[in-house]
Each structure stands twice: as structure tokens, then as C-alpha cells.
Amino acid sequence: MTAGMTRVQETLRRSFCAVAVLSTLGATALGAAPTAAAQDVRSKQWYLDAMHAEEIWKKATGEGIKVAVIDSGVNAATPSLKGQVLKGKDLTDRSGDETSDYDGHGTNMAELIAGTGKGGGIQGLAPGAKIIPFRIQVGLPKGAINRGSIPNAIKAAGDSDAQIISMSIGSEYFGAQEEEAIKYARSQGKLLLAAAGNNAKEGNGKSYPAAYPEVVGVAATGPDGKVADYSQHGEVIDLAAPANEIPLWCDATFKSYCDSNGGTSSATAIASASAALIWSANPDWTANQVLRVMIESAGRGEDWPEGPSNYLGHGIVRPGAHINRGIGKPGAPDIDPLTNEKTGGGNASDTSGSSDKGGSDSSTSESSEPASSQPGQDGSDDDTAVAGSDKTGNDGGSTGLLIAGAAAVAALGGAGFFILRRRRTA
């Protein structure tokens, strides 16, 4: 990672981004196109075939795993989500409850994670998992997003039965309450993932909650395995996942699906589903072990050097590489693979440290950027989630999220990866 990239990441856009407003995420998803016929929805979920999902489901479906979705609410009545949504919590002052999705975005994310595909709906990557919705308030004045419903939702998710917290949301503003909530949820043994953002061409600044050290920042890719050109990049990226050319509900009326690029929102949901699959196959593991295996089994090109990419992090999620081929070792249950700090396994964590990555270790060297991680370059291997398409899928736009996360620096060790996230300041 270059020092120049670090400086770019530190230059924050000062205006409140529309990408943080979930109301822009329904019909205005990246590249929203004409309605997709219901019978064509499954055929357009190209990543399921590329990931060999049918083979994965013979061994793991996400059963026994609960995923907290912090978003605009989740409509539990869509054909694909009937029976998939558990009691959650509404953190807004809107009418209805957490199953009243005022935008459509949260429902889309839930379906990508745990949809059953019934009634011609979206087939989730982890159809055996269950969703716990936490409805948040967005569209507030500058900076208010960090002082209201989001930190409360994160803390509530930390207290819930969910093992995974999926956050397809983002703001450019650091918030002390939000950071405290993140640390608390992590101390409860939760695995937290957040969207890296879609403003690569419009500032490429940090996004929160993905920028907090304890959160996995997720970038977006297309059917060709290349990073989407809107997907923000830098030292903050941990993993990447499919996002482009995936049908989603057109709007909050839930009448039809549209062809669209879901941006890093969808990528986060698919990465969360990947975690659910791995965890359901290894129910005794901690969040640290699940994440370590996600990192070690991620798809990387043959010329991938030691260390992460500015664009794809440690690579593209591919749960089948572990579930079907045993790639990735869980390692220590109580060491966070992002920070190399002791977390007390799945039960407790020291949350008194600073927000810098990597603790007191400042010896990590900066690596040069590999060619395979540049925009438009293939970051995949034999069974990475790619299809045989020559389309780039990088048509830009804004889905609703700023990018963030923290890149990790990896060193190959005898038992697998030893991961140490680079330092960064809030």
C-alpha cells in the first residue's frame, strides 16, 4: 500500500453524502434497468453458479446462524423471506416496526443473504440462515447519523442472538457513540461487516462503520471478477464480493425486480452470507476463526503478492473453497485476524484500546500495489465468484454507501495467514 493512497483516504469529503441516505437505494441502485421477469431472477444470479452454490448447500446452508441486518427494515412477507425473519428491533420514530421497510434496501440485503427463492424471488446464498432486522433512521442532518439510531442498533445487535452483523450503510463521519457500539458488539463475539462504498470516483474518502478497526470492509466486483470502478479503494479494504448485474426489488412496493448493480451494499450482504455458510459448517468456531478462514480461502490471482490489494483486500469471498475443499485454517479462537489483538474468543474483548490498527506494532512494511488488484484486472482463480463474461460491469453511479474498511497486511506463516491490519487513525 502506498503512502499516497493513505493520504487520499485521509482527505474526507465534507458534505453529507447522499450515499448515506438509504432512500436512494431502492429503484436508484447502480445501473437500475428494466424489470426482470420473476422466472428470470434466479438465472441472473450469476454468482451462485460461479460459487458452485448447489455443491456448497449439500454441506452447509447457513442453518443455525442468525444475521442481524441493520438497514431500512426488512419486509418479512416477500415470498423469498417468509419464515426467514425473526423478531428484531425498530430504532426509528416511523410508523410500523422493523418489518416495515420504508425503502426496500434492507429487504434486498436480507434476500441476498437468506432468501429461499420461493415465488420467483431472490435465492439467498445462505438460505438456511435467519435474519434479525434492526430498522434505523437515516437522512438526518450532517453527522447526526452517528448519534442516533445506528449506534443504538449496533449495540442492540450486539445483545441479540445474531452471530453476524451485516451493515450495508455508511457515512463519512466518525462518531464516538458508534465506535463504542462497534467495540461492544465485537466484544460480544459478533462478526461485523460493512459496505466499503461507491464513491471511488467522487472523493474515495473513509466511510463509517466500515472504517472502524473491528469491522470488515467489503468492496464490490462484477461477473468478470474485476473490482467495480465505483467501489472505493485503499488500505481500508478487507474482502470483496459480487455485486454487479444482480436483480433487486425495484422499490419499496415490492412488485417487481429490476436488473441493477447493487454496489458495495450487495457485496456486503453476499460476504455476510458467505460467513454464515462457513460458520454453519463449523458451529463451534468463533468470529475470529470464521473471518480468518474467509481471508485465507478468498480468491486471488496467480500473481497476487504477499499482502492485500488496495482494491480487493485479501480477495473475493468463496465459501466453497473452504466448505468443499478445506482451504483455510481457523487458527486461534481469541485473536482477531484484522488487528492481531486478543479478543477473548467469542465471549469477551478488551475494548479499551485506541482506534488505531495493529496495536503497538509499527513495523509493517508498505507493499507495492500488485497489478492484479488495479481496477479492471482479474483478482480471481479457479473457483472465485466469476462467470465467463467479458463485461466489466463497472458502470459507476451511486447506490448509497461510502467506502471504508481497513486493509490488512498478510504474511504467509506455517499454519496459514498471519493477518495484521495496518494502523489508521479515526
pLDDT digits (tens, 9 = 90+) for 342-362: 885 453 333 333 333 322 222
* pLDDT level of residue 234 (50, 70, 90 thresholds): confident
Yes or no: say if 215 and 209 are a contact pair by the CB < 8 Å rule.
Answer: yes
Residue tagged active-site, from 80, 100, 103, 105:
105
User: For residue 288, which of 322, 337, 328, 220 has the smallest C-alpha distance?
Assistant: 337
pTM equals 0.78
- Quick: pLDDT tens for 299-340: 987 777 777 888 999 999 999 999 999 999 999 999 999 888
* Catalytic residue list contains 105: yes
What domain range is 91 assigned to? 3-421
Residue tagged active-site, from 149, 265, 280, 398:
265
Q: Which helix (H) or strand (E) holds 289?
A: helix 287-297
In a domain, 67, yes or no: yes
- Cα 86 off chain centre by: 21
CA atoms within 13 A on the CB side of 50: 24
In a domain, 287, yes or no: yes
- Helices 149-159 and 176-187 pack at an angle, to 10 degrees, of 10
Phi, psi torsion values for 153, nearest 5 degrees: -70, -40
Q: Would you give the DSSP letter of residue 284?
A: T
- Quick: pLDDT tens for 127-137: 999 999 999 98
Give me the amino acid identity at 405.
G
In a domain, 86, yes or no: yes
- Quick: pLDDT tens for 142-198: 444 434 789 999 999 999 999 999 999 988 888 899 999 999 999 999 999 999 999
Provide the number of structural domains found in the chain. Answer: 1
In a domain, 186, yes or no: yes
* pLDDT level of residue 222 (50, 70, 90 thresholds): very high
CA separation (Å) from 303 to 40, 292, 309? 36, 21, 12
Residue tagged active-site, from 71, 103, 224, 336:
71
* Catalytic residue list contains 265: yes
CATH number of the domain bearing residue 64: 3.40.50.200
CA atoms within 13 A on the CB side of 165: 35
Q: Rounded distance, CA 406 to CA 235, Å? A: 5
Q: Rounded distance, CA 255 to CA 279, Å? A: 33
- Check pLDDT > 60 for residue 363: no
**70-79, 119-128, 392-401: which has the minimum mean pLDDT?**
392-401
Continuous H helices in 115-252:
149-159, 176-187
What are the beta bridge partners of residue 349?
none
In a domain, 324, yes or no: yes
Q: What SS3 state is found at 184?
A: helix
Q: Rounded distance, CA 143 to CA 172, Å? A: 8
In a domain, 426, yes or no: no
What does the block give as the cell for 310? 488496495
